[in-house]
Amino acid sequence: MEMSFLRLLVLFLAWLPLGVFAQVKLITNRVGNEWIFTVTNAFACPVQVQLMFSNQNGEKEAVHLVVPAYSEQVVLSLTNTKNPLFRFSYELGDPFVEPKDVEYWLPLAPGQLVRVTQGYNTRFSHKGKNAYSIDFALAIGTPVYAARDGVVVMTKSNGVRGGNRKAYRRHANYVIIYHNDGTFAHYVHLKYKGVVVKPGDYVRAGQLIGYSGNTGWTRGPHLHFMVTRSGYMDRLSIPTRFYASSGSLSNLVAREFYLVEHPTSQIAHVTVTNTNSVDLDAIGEDEGDVGAP
């Protein structure tokens, strides 16, 4: 088999961190007069890929498909093409899977009272793709727990900087967990070396995954939490319901305190957290795009 390299233009979405490029690869093999295009997916979740190319008549075409986790799949075969030109892009998740209406756990230790500093659809930064995000004011080092069972697909913990400038965006530390209904939970702005799980780990709701921080594009220490679903070559945030003994919490409101309850945990005491170390009125919100996938 003769191996050849094409002149490629690979277009990845701008907000994907550089470290994930090796997780999804497009491999091109030439056998005689046939070009075979194969995608390998090293993520612990499916990815959707799109390959745009010109056919023998010079007409532009596109192939779109979903490649399962930890798998390899042939996406295209071209014959009698000397030097095919194409564009390749990918996005995490499967757009054909419909999310379930499930109840999440608040991603903190039970018994705490936590204040929301920014809720859904704000004019500040929770808009567009990030519209259904929630910011919890937390002191740096506060334990963060998984809100739902799932598999860890991406983490970053080497960011050391944070501040109210876009240049800090790439420094955000995070954990992204994939759920069995195709959704992803994003836990963002974790502290330096504050991630205790790794890609491929299966975690249970209520399991420790890291510690909150102030990394990335942010105005102060807090946890940014968001659940996303896959669209066509895109990901969009979706509303989240949280468990409470008195009934689901479906729309957390900014500047309100909420008691953290987990269905399998006994609430022994109530503590108002972080009021000594975080100015809840002045900081604790995202500044623009949070900087995580």
How does pLDDT run across 244-267, given as a tens digit for each residue? 988 888 888 888 999 999 987 543
Whole-structure pTM value: 0.82
CA gap 23, 13 in Å, rounded: 14
Whether 139 and 206 map to the same domain: the answer is yes
- If asked whether residues 114 and 35 sit together in one domain, one would say no
Do both 48 and 109 map to the same domain? no
Q: Are residues 58 and 108 in the same domain?
A: no
Q: Which long-range contacts (CB under 8 A, 24 or more apart) does 244-251 make?
A: 248/103, 249/106, 251/119, 251/120
Say how many domains are in the chain.
2
256 and 134 assigned to the same domain: yes
How many Å apart are CA 170 and CA 28, to the nearest integer? 31
Same domain, yes or no, for 206 and 251? yes
Is residue 46 scored above 70 in pLDDT?
Answer: yes
Q: Cα separation of 215 and 287, whole Å?
A: 11
Tell me, yes or no, whether 30 and 109 share the same domain: no
Query: Two tokens at 288?
Result: 């623009």
Last residue of one domain, picked from the residues 31, 60, 92 = 92
Residues 199 and 86 in one domain: no
Looking at the fold, whether 58 and 118 belong to one and the same domain comes out as: no
Whether 70 maps to a domain, the answer reads: yes
* pLDDT single digits (tens) 229-243: 999 999 899 999 999
User: 137: helix, coil or strand?
Assistant: strand
281 part of a folded domain: no
DSSP string, 221-263: SEEEEEEEEEETTEEEE---EE--TTS-B-S--TT-EEE---T
**CATH number (domain holding residue 192):** 2.70.70.10
| 119 and 29 in a common domain | no
Which residues constitute the domain of residue 23? 2-92
Q: Is 24 contained in some domain?
A: yes
Look up the CATH number of the domain holding residue 32: 2.60.40
Same domain, 44 and 160: no
> How far apart, in whole angstroms, are the C-alpha atoms of residue 56 and residue 78?
9
pLDDT score at 157: 94
Q: Is the pLDDT of residue 94 over 80?
A: yes
Quote the distance between the C-alpha of residue 26 and its chain's center: 22
69 neighbors 103 (Cβ within 8 angstroms):
no
pLDDT digits (tens, 9 = 90+) for 157-212: 999 888 778 888 889 999 999 999 999 999 999 999 999 999 999 999 999 999 99
